[in-house]
Amino acid sequence: MQTARSEFFHKGSYLLTTDIRIAVKNVLSLEQKCIDMERPAFPPCMMINSAKFRGLCPSMSNMRLGSLTDPGRPHQDEVGSRLSSIDLFKFLAFCGVVSIHTVSAVHFTHGGDPFEAGLRDPVGSVVDQLSRFAVPFFFLSSGYLWFGRALRYDMVRFIKSISWLLVVYVFWVAVYALNFMIDGQPLTPSLALKILVNGGYGVQLWFLPCLCSALLLMRVVARTHRWALPLTIGFALYVIGLIYGPYSPLVFGTPSSELTRRICRTLPISAFLFVMIGAWLKSSGRTFSPRTAIVLIAVGAGLTLAEGSVLQEVFRVPMVSNDALLSSIPFGVGVFLLSLHVRLGTRWADWGRALGSMGLGLYLLHMEFVYLIRAYFWPASLVERLAFLLAVIVATTATLLIVDNARGATRLLR
């Protein structure tokens, strides 16, 4: 009897210690995967799922994953909420991009003359200018989320990890090139160059090669841990982009050619600074208060309107043609800092993840709906253009929700 009892307790203690060891190993393995992927593999409130473990240790069955993480790091629920809020702000940035392509008066009045259109409809120009936080936000969030890979991956592996961006770019260039065939335009060498450099009808596609090259530069300097030099280089490149972009009448007396502006926009000239600021925020762990973020947004938005107005009124640079200005730096950084402070509830977190995870696909697809809707509905007034904006957002989001589960679609949309 005593032997049976001892054997029973021996087996019980063995099973208990084995299950605890397996559970801890699984949790730590999951935590490492979360760190490697830079986002939670499961919702932050995921419980340890082992029936045998729950039966043996009921008091530990509701343990959160974050309780086993390094106490020096944010807990998993905090990281998950932060990433969810970034995802939600990605959707807001997507709405800003759509606003640029729908509300801007340049597309709908005076035969597309940007200067006259801006003067005729200043409200549309203001809405356009205030939407310019969107692309800097995308660059900032990319630097923030990709910096971990830049530290862990060697150059070959990192190039492979971003090569899918170029595959996605080629695919969507081909998709938007079909619009030229529909319009019956012959494929001339100049048109082929325009499609390759700027995406042709996919005017937003320049973002992908620009981001890819900026991330590659980030990988080159990521392990130096000396941020002053890369940030200075990023700012210098940004100034070069301003000189050959909206500031060209100030420097050269005449605006730069469209091809020059497009090439400067496709290269990482305007992106590298924002990518490095995002990487620096991730590396340093620096936090700024929500009040600081709001102040930066207010100051950046005000300076953006003032800078755009001066360029338009004094140097005849249309406000609606400004991809990025000097004031876009505090404007974009402020919006991104605010996204790090917004804490979302469970329902909002799920919506944030769902919408933000499709941010790239929303960005890539929306111009097709811009062209499709505009073929049947030509908005003239500001109210009609706001309705146009809403229609494009709803149509693009609904389409992505439908096709997102299709086989092979995820790689081309996320």
Q: What is the pLDDT of residue 413?
A: 67
Dmax (CA) of the chain: 101
The amino acid at 259: L
**How many other C-beta atoms lie within 10 A of the C-beta of residue 12?**
11
Copy the structure tokens of residue 171: 């695919």
The 3 state secondary structure assigned to 69-116 is CCCCCCCHHHHHHHHHHHHHHHHHHHHHHHHHHHCCHHHCCHHHCHHH
pTM for the model: 0.78
* Phi, psi at 64, each rounded to 5°: -85, 150
Q: What angle do CA 285, 287, 288 make, to 5 degrees?
A: 155
Copy the structure tokens of residue 140: 């900032």
- Can you tell me the distance from the alpha carbon of 242 to that of 249, in angstroms, rounded to the nearest whole number? 11
Where do the H-state alpha helices sit in 358-381?
Answer: 359-376
Q: What is the pLDDT of residue 95?
A: 93
Q: What is the pLDDT of residue 316?
A: 83
Give 130-160 as a DSSP string.
HTTTHHHHHHHHHHHHHHHHHHHS-HHHHHH
Q: What is the pLDDT of residue 263?
A: 81
All residues at 6 or more sequence positions from 411 whose CB lies less than 8 Å from its CB, including other chains: 164, 167, 168
pLDDT values of the chain reduced to their tens digit, one per residue, 414 residues:
445 445 544 545 544 445 444 544 454 454 444 444 444 333 333 333 333 333 334 333 333 322 223 333 444 445 555 677 888 899 999 999 999 988 875 555 545 565 566 566 778 888 888 999 999 999 999 999 999 898 899 999 999 999 888 888 988 988 888 887 777 777 777 777 777 777 778 888 999 999 999 999 999 988 776 889 999 999 999 999 999 989 998 888 888 887 788 888 888 899 999 999 999 999 988 889 999 999 999 999 999 999 998 988 888 888 877 888 999 999 999 999 999 988 776 666 677 677 777 888 899 999 999 989 888 888 877 888 889 999 999 999 998 888 876 666 666 666
